[in-house]
Chain A
Amino acid sequence: MTTATTPTAPIGTRAHQPAGVPVHRPSGRAGFASAVRSEVTKITSVRSTYWSLLVLIVVTVGIGAAAGASAAHSASGPSFDPTQTSLYGLVFGQLIIAVLGVLTVTSEYSTGMVRTSLTSMPRRGTMVAAKAVVLAAVGLGTGLVASFGAFFAGQELMGHHINATLGQPHVLRAVIGGALFLAVSGLLGLGLGLILRHAAAAICAAVGLLFVLFILALELPSSWRVGTWVPLNAGSQIWQTVAPAASTHMLSAWTGFAVFCGYAAIAVIGGLILFRKRDA
């Protein structure tokens, strides 16, 4: 306990005013821009953010390098996609950013901070929008570092006979798309966090949606076309440059990404509706 300072001076910035204290009310109201500044402070002032983003970059780039090195010896055929190969790490990167998205919400619930936050900013839609924008920006920024890092590391280790360059068709779209994929994965996690409110439950749901569905779909006959709509399959089309064989029934790059965004939008909007309705 620090030393007690018994306030003798007036508490606020004003002098003694016995007949009621007037409230200083600037024009306008506490709004979106202020909420965004607050959320930036929140996400940048806890260590776990830096750790998880660092792990995200290391894992994504590391897997890209490993995949590149391995492809240098084994890659062949017209269906080989050097860009996609170097970006395989995004499959794990998306899980890390989804967990960060989950935690931006559930850590407020587990600590009780959500009630303190809402007494400073009671407009819940504004708060969620600010959280989403900040998380998406963090996901995009980190994603660009991870995606470009993985691409360059992977191509370097693949060797010049098979590797891709940014100037080739679709390559730049795929690499930037990898970052977009991560940003949207984070939003999916945020939405799940809002819906479920508990980290363990929301992380399980994220793993289920992003991984388990993907694995389950592999077990089903491709003629059922379930795999087409699995989030990971739909979302990952944006980071390939060679369209998959028609027999796999995959969506095109942007259509697939739009479907992936749709899942995230359902989670975030569903979460927002519940967040507004529930007692905090």
Chain B
Amino acid sequence: MIEIDGLTKRYGGTLAVDDLTFSVEPGKVTGFLGPNGAGKTTTMRMILGLDRPTGGTVTVHGKAFGQLAWPMREVGALLDAKAVHGGRSAYHHLLCLAQTNNLPRRRVSEVLELVGLQDVARKRSKGFSLGMSQRLGIAAALLGDPATLMFDEPVNGLDPDGILWIRNLMKGLAAEGRTVFVSSHLMSEMEHTADRLIVIGRGRLIADCTVTEFIAANSTQKVRVLTPQRDLLAKVAASAGGTVCDDGDGDGALTVQGLAPSRVGDLAFEHGIRLHELAAAHASLEEAFMELTASSVQFRAGVPADAGRQPVYAGKAA
């Protein structure tokens, strides 16, 4: 359980995190989404007490991270897989972490086996591939058998095998009743793993909802229509409540939003409009996410300062 209330972080003149309030609950995978530079990593660093908030509070299991008696038994985190002394073996890296929380040596061997690094346990980690480093970082996060786990962009740079492994791992951890908080800038990744989404842009909360809600609210149905009677169809569809535009393919097809394909077909039949093509098209979650965060992308030129500042819908608990 992670609770964040009014969390703010200012670096000089830049607001990296701006009055964030949300909570991450046990038993599910919560995706933390936002474009690069949205403030995801900064937020995670504040949860772990690495960075001091400018304002607001953050607690894990009801306490500030620094106040936890046995931090590794409460929270396991993977922020940066390369945050390891390359001259130290995987085994000793994990051992020096385990010792701070009085975790037994056999737990080190257990997690090494769990992530599949037992054969390279005595090798210095500077020779590890990114995938192996990610596994080592995950082993460190699992050491204390914690109830809350955090992963910052865990699939970055992984091969498909590794991605699948991490997805299953996160789902498995949540199914055991743990709190799993995972950040990503890829909506498609979260589609596969997350139950719940927290979307931020420019340090501010954009959405806090279940994935199902997110899909319902954002994947507006589109219908592609090809007809020789374009003007008539556009008029009929518009008067029935649809939004009509040219689909931009240059083939003269129209895109109707807000009406089901069957409704468009019925309307055409009722008005004697000949149809050459009628196809349903779902806006992908990726598109929805892009649209939602587009106005909040930090480094885009010419974005009005206040764009994307209103949460589209926030605070609806699952």
Which residues of A are interface residues toward B (Cβ below 8 A)? 1-7, 10-14, 16-26, 28-30, 34-35, 37-39, 41-42, 45-48, 107-108, 111-113, 115-123, 279-280
Instruction: Decide yes or no whether B212 CB sits under 8 A from chain A.
Output: no
Q: Across the two chains, which residue of chain A brings its CB closest to B86?
A: A111
Known: A19-B177, A122-B66. A3 touches B116 (CB 8 A): yes
Asked whether any CB of chain A lies closer than 8 Å to the CB of B71, the reply is yes
Q: Does B84 contact A (CB under 8 A)?
A: yes
Cross-chain contact A38 with B100 (CB below 8 angstroms): yes
Q: List 30 A-B contacts (CB under 8 A).
A: A1-B132, A2-B132, A4-B116, A11-B172, A11-B173, A13-B145, A16-B176, A18-B175, A20-B26, A20-B147, A21-B26, A21-B147, A21-B176, A21-B177, A28-B69, A30-B101, A38-B96, A41-B92, A42-B92, A42-B96, A46-B85, A48-B87, A116-B79, A116-B84, A117-B100, A119-B72, A120-B72, A122-B48, A280-B50, A280-B51
Q: How many Å from the CB of B54 to the closest CB on chain A?
A: 11
Measured in the bound complex, the distance between the Cα atoms of B51 and A143 in whole Å is 38
Which of chain B's residues 77-132 have a Cβ closer than 8 Å to chain A? 77, 79-80, 82-89, 92, 95-97, 99-102, 107, 110, 113-117, 119-120, 129, 131-132
- Secondary structure at the A interface, as helix, strand, loop or mixed, is loop
A120's partner among B79, B101, B161, B178 (CB-CB below 8 A) is: B101
| Cβ distance B193 to chain A, nearest Cβ, rounded Å | 14
Q: Are A120 and B26 in contact (CB under 8 A)?
A: no
Q: How far is the CB of B61 from chain A (nearest CB, A)?
A: 7
**Which chain B residues border A24 with CB–CB below 8 Å?**
73, 145
As a 0/1 sequence over residues 26 to 60 of chain B, the CB contacts with chain A under 8 angstroms (1 = contact) are 11000000000000000001001111100000000
B165 contacts A by Cβ under 8 Å: yes
Q: Closest 10 CB pairs between A and B?
A: A112-B83, A45-B92, A29-B69, A12-B145, A41-B96, A5-B116, A38-B99, A279-B51, A121-B100, A122-B66
CA distance A237 to B114 in the complex (A): 56
Report yes or no: B176 in contact with A10, Cβ–Cβ below 8 A: yes
B114 touches A5 (CB 8 A): yes
Q: Is B245 an interface residue (CB 8 A)?
A: no
Q: Which of A35, A108, A111, A118 contacts B49 (CB 8 A)?
A: A118
What's the least CB distance linking B14 to chain A, in Å?
14
Within 8 A of A (CB), among B120-161: 120, 129, 131-132, 135, 140, 142, 145-147, 159, 161
- Give the shortest distance, in Å, between B171 (CB) and chain A (any CB): 11
Output the nearest chain A residue to B68 by Cβ-Cβ distance: A122
Chain B residues contacting A26 (CB-CB under 8 Å) are 70, 102
Chain B residues lying within 8 Å of A35, measured Cβ to Cβ, are 100
Contacts of B113 in A (CB 8 A): 5
Tell me the smallest distance from the CB of A54 to a CB of chain B, in Å.
16
Beyond A34-B100, A112-B82, whether A123 also contacts B172 by CB under 8 A is no
* B168 contacts partner chain A, Cβ-Cβ < 8 Å: yes
Residues of A contacting B82 in the complex (Cβ-Cβ under 8 angstroms): 111-112
Cβ contact within 8 Å between B71 and A122: yes
Chain B contributes a number of interface residues (CB within 8 A of A) equal to 69
Is B50's CB under 8 angstroms from A115's CB?
Answer: yes
Q: Is the CB of A119 within 8 A of B77?
A: yes
Chain A, residue nearest B71 (CB): A122
Assess A113 versus B84: contact at CB under 8 Å? Given A3-B116, A23-B74: yes
Question: B65: CB under 8 A from chain A?
Answer: yes
A34-B83 in contact (CB<8A): no
Are A18 and B114 closer than 8 Å at their CB atoms?
no
Could you tell me the distance between the alpha carbons of A6 and B50 in the complex, rounded to whole angstroms?
31
> Does B318 belong to the interface (CB within 8 Å)?
no
B169 at the interface (CB under 8 A from A): yes
How far is A14 from B71 in the complex, measured between Cα atoms in Å?
A: 19
Q: Does B162 contact A (CB under 8 A)?
A: yes
Given contacts A11-B114, A112-B80, 14 further A-B contacts (CB under 8 A): A2-B120, A5-B116, A11-B176, A18-B175, A21-B177, A23-B74, A41-B95, A111-B82, A111-B84, A116-B97, A116-B140, A120-B72, A122-B49, A279-B45
CA distance A24 to B73 in the complex (A): 7
The CA-CA distance from A37 to B72 in the complex, in Å, is 16
* Residues on the A chain within 8 Å of B165, using CB: 4, 6
Cα–Cα distance between A10 and B115 once the two chains are bound (Å): 13
Residues of chain A within 8 A of B27, CB atoms compared: 18-20
Q: Is the CB of B73 within 8 A of A23?
A: yes
Q: Are B71 and A120 in contact (CB under 8 A)?
A: yes
Chain A residue nearest to B64 (CB atoms) is A122
- Quick one: given A2-B120, A112-B80, A118-B48, are A46 and B147 in contact (CB under 8 Å)? no
Of residues A4, A116, A117, A279, which shows the largest number of chain B Cβ atoms within 10 Å of its Cβ?
A116
A107–B88 CA distance with the chains assembled, in angstroms: 11
CB of B161 within 8 A of CB of A4, answer yes
B75 on interface, CB distance cutoff 8 Å: yes
Which residues does chain A contribute within 8 Å of B117, judged by CB atoms? 2
B175 cross-chain contacts in A, Cβ below 8 A: 16, 18
Give, as a whole number of angstroms, the nearest-CB distance from A100 to chain B: 13
With A21-B178, A279-B52 given, is the CB distance from A41 to B99 under 8 Å? yes
Contacting residues, chain B, for A123 (C-beta < 8 A): 66
Write out the residue numbers on chain B whose beta carbons fall within 8 Å of the beta carbon of A29. Answer: 69-70
